[in-house]
Structure 1
Amino acid sequence: MMSIPCLLQTFIAQEQICLKRLWVSSNPTWMVAYRPIWKRKRVYVKLEPPKDENNRGGEKVLTVYFSSTEIPIWILFFALGASSDKEVVDLIDFNIDDAGISNILVASIHEADREAEKKGMYFRRQGNAISFVDKLVKSCKFPPGESIQECISKYLFPNFSGVKQKARFLGYMVKCLLQAYTGRRKCDNRDDFRNKRLELAGELLERELRVHIRHAERRMVKAMQRELYGDRDLRPIENYLDASIITNGLSRAFSTGQWSHPFKRMERISGVVATLRRTNPLQMTADMRKTRQQVQYTGKVGDARYPHPSHWGKVCFLSTPDGENCGLVKNLAITGLVSTEVLDPLVDKLFDCGMEKLVDDTSTKLSGKNKVFLDGDWVGVCEDPISFVVELRTKRRHKELPQQVPTGYPDGECLT
């Protein structure tokens, strides 16, 4: 009697763009983007030509795109609590001795004044700026149901609790954009491995389970509504919840290879699971260390297929299939390690290393101090970044911090 070995399947790690950081780009226009998963929470600051027909050849102006609305950035600063133009310039914290930067800021002020004059409003008075933003947001194609205060609190940089802290982060976004525009900072590269994150088996299973649990929940609600419309008494919940929806959904995902899309609810993606080949141990190890980058084959892939210097020591340059997946399916090198999410709170330990709390006002100047970021969130500032990084690395060597917590001091900012 011949025995047929069962086929084992393994997950392929999915490469995704890191959404917990700012993205600076120059194509098709100069822009810095804050892009969480929820589209309503996304914020874009763009450097564009002025709208005034009489000033088309003048300096570019700064504009914010928030909640599907185009807002002059100077008006948004005043809506977030700024009281004067000088205070806004201090929030941006950029060297205004550069004539090009000064012209951009002055042009942005004039653009805000012109937009306010069209509405017959002086936005520098207290309360006028927030009313102006409220009218712009309410006049968009899909206006939110919340008030403008709730909209700013929930959707504009939700990681910050205070409005003044949101204004500081907006100023930091403008500073990053101006630095890139003047050549003091490089634009972010999508193909850099430092700008990517890997979705592992836990995250992929969690997303697929959420889809099928929502489906079962909708079916349960409809069954209970039919009982209520017929004036019948409700039975125990197990009579309405069909667990086979979740079981069959997961079985279908493993058998067909069609898994839920990370961002688009109605679409499915392939290449998430693969059959584990066990011809020899090396082949099995290679199958379990595969990564895949999802791209649209119909469009221009760009440099996604080509090796990047950041792949060195993390990805095998030779182990990639031929054909349409060449360069998109990679194998992690034996020296490549994947860090996972740290659940322990680290902010208190950062305070012990010399970090100061981020103040919730717009008048205190932070020039000369370095910003501290934790997983993409601005959590504080420090005066001596070198000693801060040394103390942090000392705690990591003494196992007071997880080993996978990286530390660095690039471009005058402490990133952790």
Structure 2
Amino acid sequence: MQEIIESFFRERSLVNHQLASYNDCIPSTDNQLSRMERIIRNIRVGTDEEIIDDLGGYIKLDVADQDIVIRMKNITLGAPNIREANGSYHNASPMECRLRKLTYQSPVTIDFTIYRNGVASFPEEGVQVGAIPIMVRSRRCHLHPSHIADGRSLEPTKSPEDAALLADLLRDKGEDPLDPGGYFIINGTERVLISMEDLAPNRVTVEINKRTAKRTEVAKIFSQKNGMRKPLTVEKRRDGMLMVKVSTAGTTPIPVVLLMRALGIENDQEVFTAISGPQETFKFIVANINEVNDNEEFEVKSEPEAYEWLQKKFAAGQQKEYREARVNQLLDRELLPHLGDQPEDRKKKAIFLGRIVRQVLEMALNDKEPNDKDHYANKRVRLAGDLIEDLFRVSSGQLARDLKYQLERHHNRKRELKITSCLRPDVLSSKILHALATGNWVGGRSGVSQLLDRTTYLASLSHMRRVTSPLVRSQPHFEARDLHPTQWGRLCPNETPEGQNCGLVKNAAQMVDISEEVDPQEIRERLDELDVYQPKDWTDGDRIHVNGDIYGMHKNGKNLLSQFKNSRRRGTIPSEVSIRHDTENRDIFINTDKGRILRPLLILYDGTPRLENSHLNDLAAGNITFRDLVIDGIVEWVDAEEEEDLYIAPRPFVLPETVPEGPLAGRPVTHENIRWVNLGEPGVESASLEAEVRMPNGSVEIAKFDVPLLYSSEHTHV
């Protein structure tokens, strides 16, 4: 199997996840709608209106005599450069920036158009709005194989000649060919962004609230859309009432049944059906429905009555228009925004609320264990690209607000409005550079950016693969510090510091990948082809969730699971997409989001690996790559959630310490000198091995023996 490992590291470095995340964030020719571009297009300043068009970000000036709007889009990154004292520019190299104590950065340009009373003026294209630090060896770096050879794109993973040429060119530029990159150069110092563990958004976690004398069951979800997080809590009180709290909308608890009515489910039967789980839950659901119907505090039996009750609670004493707007904002923007922010999405939110309530009731009545927050299915790792994205979102918002202020000043002084004369580039750059230089990030986090440890080569690699938890170091957090079974194959069980950081600062295992975001619309279209439909009754079949959003239903979840995995193994669905079937609750969860740690597994069909010796020979000869194994359905990337559905053999067989039989019996054997002869042959129950045995005189003999396999066809997933 050594051929697989060697092939894996031939095509990706040990910091590949950081480089891939950063490349996904920045704009490029093959990534036109990058994360930065989406941030720019989603900017809304000076208006609360919903604007859906393709004209980009929207800045509305507060001026009396005209209706002036600025639209912005098409962010581009130039080549990293240095501005000299005389005003001239030249291309920057990482080594020059290190020696001259400069920042390795690229200019950022955006296209602007000013609209006066709906009429567009001449667009100002390529306006420089600041500069962004460039990660060494990223796609935009001068050391990248596509830039370093002046007009020729090198392919070092495929061509030995290109690999040798790349190493020579790197040496010419004063760089170490073995340096993987993955860090920034800020004022001459090398800074690395530490990957952060975070709770996965759009996932329901049920736990026990022990703050009160008598325990209560609570479900929590952090609904996230476009970088905006909206927490929601559903609690079963001691009197049996089920209450919802939307923390961003205030502390007022709302009865679940009343909120579901406001979302469009008026019929008691529909409310009951949306929530109903085991038979023991029925009496609680009926009691909650009756309480909302009959209690003087509520007396809500229809959608208009529920709407009016919410108006009284959240906008009492205000004008009718304001009250309606406030409740609409609560239902559309504050409540589960990941399910949509339009009125037509409200029914879906009611169904989702019903599922949350069902989980709370099941835990309360069946003594189910609370969700394990330390399970890695409930975690996401935020890489360099995600951290830069957060920083850029805040900085670009500040830039837009400052531009609005400057344009309003120019307009009030009767000056001509020009973006270039009103825009201050240091607004964007200074915020980003300050955060990278100090490590103080948006959201009050510190230590995100650290000085790269150059003590040894291994120390540098370890530093760039570090994963840290946001938990407070001074608290015990015993469970969070413990090794968790889902960390197997994803995080190193040994490499963690001593002291208060023990167990909270971890390191990624070597053969892992961290998922980048796959467009969920692509998966939804594929699901439509697999007979997923939009039902009226959400109880007849298996519900399909895409990134926490209820998309549709399928009559036979087991068939869908099999078809989906087969499509993924054929390459028609991206390998990073995961799927899990919760048979108990009849839910299928599909994840396409970023930050999931994936590990590669060999696929078995009918008790036989798809991998054969011919594949290993082709890997050794360079005829195929590790990526080809994934595309051909021989190797599969699996995350912690999908792993819950799988039988996984940690090893195919147990290798004895010595040759068990034959003339060489008793001679020691090691994994490095083993060849699995019948690898991939169907129907075998033991592995035929050939071991190289070194004799006392220095010669090498071949020992042949069989060992039983640790898997069988009955435990094979198709």
Quick check: TM above 0.5? Answer: yes
Is 2:204 the counterpart of 1:17?
no
Q: 1:61 aligned to 241, 248, 269, which one? A: 241
Q: Report if the CA contact (8 A) 2:263-2:346 is conserved.
A: yes
Q: 1:249 aligned to 419, 426, 431, which one? A: 431
SS where residue 223 of structure 2 aligns?
coil
SS where residue 284 of structure 1 aligns?
helix
Give the counterpart letter for 1:374 in structure 2.
Answer: V
**Equivalences for 1:258-277 in 2 at 5 Å?**
258-261=440-443, 267=444, 269-277=445-453
CA distance in 2, matches of 1:366, 1:415: 16
In the other structure, the counterpart of 1:102 is 282
In the other structure, the counterpart of 1:45 is 234
CA distance in 1, matches of 2:291, 2:194: 50
CA deviation string 1:244-269 (max 9, x = no partner): 233333332222222212xxxxx3x2
Q: 1:413 aligned to 587, 599, 604, which one? A: 587
In the other structure, the counterpart of 1:180 is 363
In the other structure, the counterpart of 1:288 is 464
CA distance in 2, matches of 1:193, 1:128: 43
Q: 1:348 aligned to 509, 522, 525, which one? A: 525
SS where residue 26 of structure 1 aligns?
strand
CA distance in 2, matches of 1:217, 1:118: 46
Q: 1:37 to 1:91 in 2, by over 3 A?
A: closer
CA deviation string 1:125-168 (max 9, x = no partner): 56323222322232499x97715345423333342534332222
SS where residue 568 of structure 2 aligns?
helix
Is 2:220 the counterpart of 1:33?
yes
Residue ranges of structure 1 left out of the alignment (5+ in a row): 51-59, 262-266
Is 2:568 the counterpart of 1:366?
no
Q: 1:125 to 1:224 in 2, by over 3 A?
A: closer
User: Deviation at 1:179?
Assistant: 1.7
Q: Report if the CA contact (8 A) 1:71-1:136 is conserved.
A: no
User: Deviation at 1:7?
Assistant: 4.2
Q: Report if the CA contact (8 A) 1:73-1:112 is conserved.
A: no
Q: 2:421 aligned to 239, 246, 255, which one? A: 239
CA distance in 1, matches of 2:317, 2:437: 44
Q: 1:80 to 1:255 in 2, by over 3 A?
A: closer
User: Deviation at 1:346?
Assistant: 0.7
Q: 1:12 to 1:349 in 2, by over 3 A?
A: same
Q: 1:78 aligned to 250, 258, 261, which one? A: 261
Give the counterpart letter for 2:439 in structure 1.
Answer: G
In the other structure, the counterpart of 1:134 is 311
Q: Report if the CA contact (8 A) 2:277-2:358 is conserved.
A: yes
Q: 1:286 to 1:40 in 2, by over 3 A?
A: closer
Q: 1:316 aligned to 492, 497, 500, which one? A: 492
User: Deviation at 1:317?
Assistant: 1.7
In the other structure, the counterpart of 2:562 is 390
Is 2:580 the counterpart of 1:401?
no
User: Deviation at 1:114?
Assistant: 4.9
User: Deviation at 1:24?
Assistant: 1.1
Q: How many residues are aligned here?
A: 386
In the other structure, the counterpart of 1:304 is 480
In the other structure, the counterpart of 2:160 is none
Task: State the structure with bigger RCO (CA 8 A, min sep 6), 1 or 2.
Answer: 1
SS where residue 181 of structure 1 aligns?
helix
Q: Over the residues paired in the alignment, what is the CA RMSD in angstroms?
A: 2.9
CA distance in 2, matches of 1:184, 1:355: 33
CA distance in 2, matches of 1:128, 1:297: 49
Q: 1:36 to 1:285 in 2, by over 3 A?
A: same
CA distance in 1, matches of 2:377, 2:492: 16
In the other structure, the counterpart of 1:55 is none
User: Deviation at 1:405?
Assistant: 1.0
CA deviation string 1:221-278 (max 9, x = no partner): 343444445x3414532222221233333332222222212xxxxx3x2222223334
Q: 1:217 to 1:102 in 2, by over 3 A?
A: closer
Residue ranges of structure 2 left out of the alignment (5+ in a row): 1-97, 100-173, 175-187, 211-215, 591-718
SS where residue 182 of structure 1 aligns?
helix
User: Deviation at 1:212?
Assistant: 2.6
In the other structure, the counterpart of 2:548 is 376
User: Deviation at 1:80?
Assistant: 2.8
Instruction: Give aligned-pair identity as a percent.
Output: 25
The structure richer in strand per residue is 2
Q: 1:308 to 1:126 in 2, by over 3 A?
A: closer
CA distance in 2, matches of 1:333, 1:107: 51
CA distance in 2, matches of 1:144, 1:319: 56
CA distance in 1, matches of 2:333, 2:425: 35
Is 2:336 the counterpart of 1:157?
yes
In the other structure, the counterpart of 2:682 is none
CA deviation string 1:278-323 (max 9, x = no partner): 4544333222211111123455645222221211111112211223
Give the counterpart letter for 2:236 in structure 1.
Answer: L
SS where residue 341 of structure 1 aligns?
coil
In the other structure, the counterpart of 2:404 is 221
TM-score (normalised: structure 1): 0.83
In the other structure, the counterpart of 1:54 is none
In the other structure, the counterpart of 1:210 is 393
SS where residue 148 of structure 1 aligns?
helix
CA distance in 1, matches of 2:352, 2:317: 25
Give the counterpart letter for 2:235 in structure 1.
Answer: K
CA distance in 2, matches of 1:104, 1:33: 20
**Structure having the higher Rg:** 2
Give the counterpart letter for 2:356 in structure 1.
Answer: M
Q: 1:338 to 1:185 in 2, by over 3 A?
A: farther
Give the counterpart letter for 1:63 in structure 2.
Answer: M
CA distance in 2, matches of 1:222, 1:351: 47
Give the counterpart letter for 1:200 in structure 2.
Answer: L
**Deviation larger for 40-49 or 187-196:** 40-49
Q: 1:276 to 1:61 in 2, by over 3 A?
A: same
Give the counterpart letter for 2:332 in structure 1.
Answer: S
Give the counterpart letter for 1:155 in structure 2.
Answer: E
SS where residue 379 of structure 1 aligns?
strand
Q: 1:36 to 1:78 in 2, by over 3 A?
A: closer
Q: 1:112 aligned to 292, 311, 315, which one? A: 292
Give the counterpart letter for 1:334 in structure 2.
Answer: Q
Q: 1:90 to 1:285 in 2, by over 3 A?
A: same
CA distance in 1, matches of 2:236, 2:494: 41
Q: 2:505 aligned to 324, 329, 333, which one? A: 329
CA distance in 2, matches of 1:217, 1:83: 43
In the other structure, the counterpart of 1:148 is 327
Q: 1:186 to 1:374 in 2, by over 3 A?
A: farther
SS where residue 318 of structure 1 aligns?
coil
CA deviation string 1:37-59 (max 9, x = no partner): 48884432210033xxxxxxxxx
CA distance in 2, matches of 1:399, 1:47: 45
Q: 1:225 to 1:318 in 2, by over 3 A?
A: same
